[in-house]
């Protein structure tokens, strides 16, 4: 049964992707990742559905309000642009190729700046694209 039908893969076998479920663009991108995740390596969850006790020890609800987080199979956490790379990395080509590019040192700092700009304005972008999600 597919994850979207309510049965996610075992948590230890997949990356937990915690995104803003109130953001239209975030929901649309999560849906795209879910469709492309043919290996079922991702569990995509709106952070609003998570209890604080279920989060990694170094992740707070405030952190999740500000940025995408991915909890890797080993329990380590990736945030912001590094989280995007962690998602792309387990998707089939050409998406995993983008992850390799995003992991390359010259692109990392630029990607993080761009991610920060997007994250700050994601609700506006959602409204402009008529994807709903937020004031």
Q: Which residue has the higher pLDDT, 130 or 78?
A: 78
What is the C-alpha to C-alpha distance for residues 76 and 58, in angstroms, rounded to an integer? 9
Average pLDDT, the chain: 86
pLDDT at 104: 85
pLDDT at 6: 41
Q: At which residue do the structure tokens 């604080």 appear?
A: 52
pLDDT at 66: 93
Per-residue exposure over 54-93, b if at least 16 CB sit within 10 Å of its own CB, e if not: ebeeebeeebbeebbbbbbeeeebbbbbbbbbbbbbbbee
pLDDT at 1: 32
What is the C-alpha to C-alpha distance for residues 25 and 128, in angstroms, rounded to an integer? 10
* Token duo for residue 126: 């959602």
Task: Write down the pTM of the prediction.
Answer: 0.83
Confidence of residue 4 (pLDDT cuts 50, 70, 90): very low
* Token duo for residue 119: 């994250």
Q: How many CB atoms lie within 10 A of CB 29?
A: 19
Q: Give the tens place of pLDDT for each residue, 42-60.
A: 999 999 998 888 888 889 8
Residue ranges per domain, the chain? Answer: 3-128
Nearest residue to 47 via CA among 76, 75, 27, 73: 27
């Amino acid at each position: 049964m597919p994850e979207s039908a309510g049965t996610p893969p075992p948590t230890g076998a997949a990356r937990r992707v915690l995104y803003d479920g109130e953001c239209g663009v975030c929901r649309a991108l999560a849906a795209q990742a879910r469709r492309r995740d043919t290996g079922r390596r991702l569990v995509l969850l709106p952070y609003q559905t998570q209890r604080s006790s279920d989060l990694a020890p170094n992740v707070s609800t405030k952190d999740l309000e500000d940025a995408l987080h991915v909890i890797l199979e080993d329990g380590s956490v990736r945030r912001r642009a590094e989280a995007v790379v962690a998602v792309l990395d387990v998707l089939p080509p050409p998406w995993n190729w983008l992850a390799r590019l995003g992991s390359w040192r010259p692109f990392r700092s630029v990607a993080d700046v761009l991610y920060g700009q997007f994250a700050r304005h994601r609700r506006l972008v959602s409204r402009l694209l008529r994807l709903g999600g937020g004031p």
